[in-house]
């Protein structure tokens, strides 16, 4: 698994913490920016992360912005991407086990570093259950 991370200016400080978490847990990652707190457009980073996650089914993504709404909406425009907003450990676990999420979106303005670590733990340690959830997940992508 390779983790692709990205953020906007509101998520920059959280992204620094995420990188430390990934290093401490020996998880391979690629940082697609942003690289400071200067104002940027979140879709640029969400699209970049989604494209990288699409390249390999083993890839996982972490996106961070103020509310997580903008990056989630943007990432979910990409076929095969299932980006879930996670604000606590239970939502992260369910995103993985029920929705087969391949990107989690973290709301920087609403969670602490401590909660963020629990979110990451649950997302990376939880596996898709399949079963009744598989048919539902298969209905997500549209061919328009």
Catalytic residues: 65, 98
60: helix, strand or coil: strand
**Is the bond preceding residue 34 a cis peptide, omega within 30 degrees?**
yes
Contact 14, 106 (CB under 8 A): yes
Which structure tokens are listed for 26? 């020996």
Q: How far is residue 50's CA from residue 139's CA, in Å, rounded to a whole number? A: 19
Q: How far is residue 57's CA from residue 39's CA, in Å, rounded to a whole number? A: 31
Q: What is the rounded (10 degree) CA torsion for 117, 120, 122, 128? A: 180
Q: How far is residue 17's CA from residue 36's CA, in Å, rounded to a whole number? A: 13
């Amino acid at each position: 698994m390779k983790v692709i991370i990205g953020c906007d200016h509101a998520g920059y400080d959280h992204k620094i913490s995420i990188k430390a978490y990934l290093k401490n847990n020996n998880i391979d990652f690629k940082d697609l920016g942003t690289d400071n707190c200067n104002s940027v457009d979140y879709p640029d980073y969400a699209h970049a992360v989604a494209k990288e996650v699409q390249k390999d089914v083993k890839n996982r993504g972490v996106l961070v912005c103020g509310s997580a709404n903008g990056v989630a909406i943007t990432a979910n425009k990409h076929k095969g991407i299932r980006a879930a907003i996670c604000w606590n450990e239970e939502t992260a676990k369910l995103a993985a086990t029920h929705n087969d999420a391949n990107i989690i979106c973290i709301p920087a303005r609403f969670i602490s570093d401590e909660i963020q670590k629990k979110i990451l733990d649950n997302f990376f340690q939880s596996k898709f259950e399949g079963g009744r959830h598989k048919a539902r997940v298969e209905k997500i992508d549209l061919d328009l």
